Amino acid sequence: MQSDPDSYQDSSKDTQAQRKMTNPKTVTAKRSRMSLCISNFGRRSFLGRAGVVTAVATSVATAMMSPVRSSTKRGDIAYAQNTGERNGGSQILQEVLSANQTYVKNFGDKSNLPLPPGRRFAILTCMDARLDPAKYAGLSEGDAHVIRNAGGRASDDAIRSLVISYKLLGTKEWFVIHHTNCGMEFFTDQVIRKLLSNSLTTAVLDENGFRDVGQRPGSTEGEFINWLTINDQVTSVAIDVRRIRFHPLVPRDIPIYGYLYDVKTGELIEIPEATEIGRAA
């Protein structure tokens, strides 16, 4: 009976593969890599006042995927700048990477911070660049969860984050903080939908409001988004606190405070109606 050359080659490859798999050196190397992963992905228990929250550390994955960490080992801030140049030459990118190198050098013992926020509260606020929750609320790394979006609105995604914040990570108090002179007051859903349908170029804001300066085509996809624009800041804070307070996934024993941040003074101004709505049961 004549043997099939192709079958013989396949069989030979299988045999070689089996030998490689059972080779002591290969097995040892695989076990070493597995031990390294296990040691770095060890489970940690974090004890809070209300109980224990267990989380999985992911330091190995972060270290393996982060080019900035490798540049830190080189001890060369210029490496980050060179990386920015290779990635398109953006000045902003270079500045961010350079600043990150400085931050890494002074990182200290922050790697030992637990996963749950130490002060056990969360803030929902606006993405406006003039707002710095770390400064106006006295936060340090590891203190609190800060959830930001356009307007600081209680969108579905914001509530998703808040639910995770309490259910898995133990926060006990929440703040909803809007601010004066918010860009979400300067347009309506209809305005932004029209702007987007005209073009995808950044619009211009003047005394008459936003106007489009781009060239077609735009997109009508904006018609399907609830942009959660704001008519009145005080009212919007109360509306958002109410939505969170009575959401079926939010327990009644979490107090929700409503505040307005004054961009002219930096002061947090309480909205009594909102705080009353958010009072814990």
Q: How far apart are CA 254 and CA 234, in angstroms?
A: 21
Assess contact for 28 and 148: CB atoms under 8 A: no
If 0-12 CB within 10 Å is exposed, 13-18 middle and 19+ buried, where does residue 101 land? buried
Least confident of 15-24, 159-168, 227-236: 15-24
What CA–CA distance (Å, rounded) separates 239 from 154?
9
| 261 bridge partner residues | 179, 268
Contact 182, 128 (CB under 8 A): yes
**For position 208, what pLDDT does the model report?**
86
Position 109 scores a pLDDT of 94
Say what the pLDDT of residue 82 is. 55
pLDDT the model gives residue 187: 95
CA–CA distance, 243 with 249 (Å, rounded to integer): 11
Distance separating alpha carbons of residues 170 and 185, to the nearest angstrom: 34
Is the CA virtual torsion 104, 106, 108, 113 positive or negative?
A: negative
Q: Which is more confident, 16 or 218?
A: 218
Omega of the bond leading into 217 within 30 degrees of 0 (cis):
yes
* Structure confidence by residue, pLDDT tens digits, 65-86: 334 343 434 444 455 455 545 5
| Average pLDDT across the chain, whole number | 80
pLDDT for residue 95: 97
Residue with the bigger pLDDT between 251 and 37: it is 251
Q: Which two tokens stand for residue 18?
A: 């089996």
pLDDT at 83 (0 to 100): 55
Q: How confident is the model at residue 216 (pLDDT cuts 50, 70, 90)?
A: confident
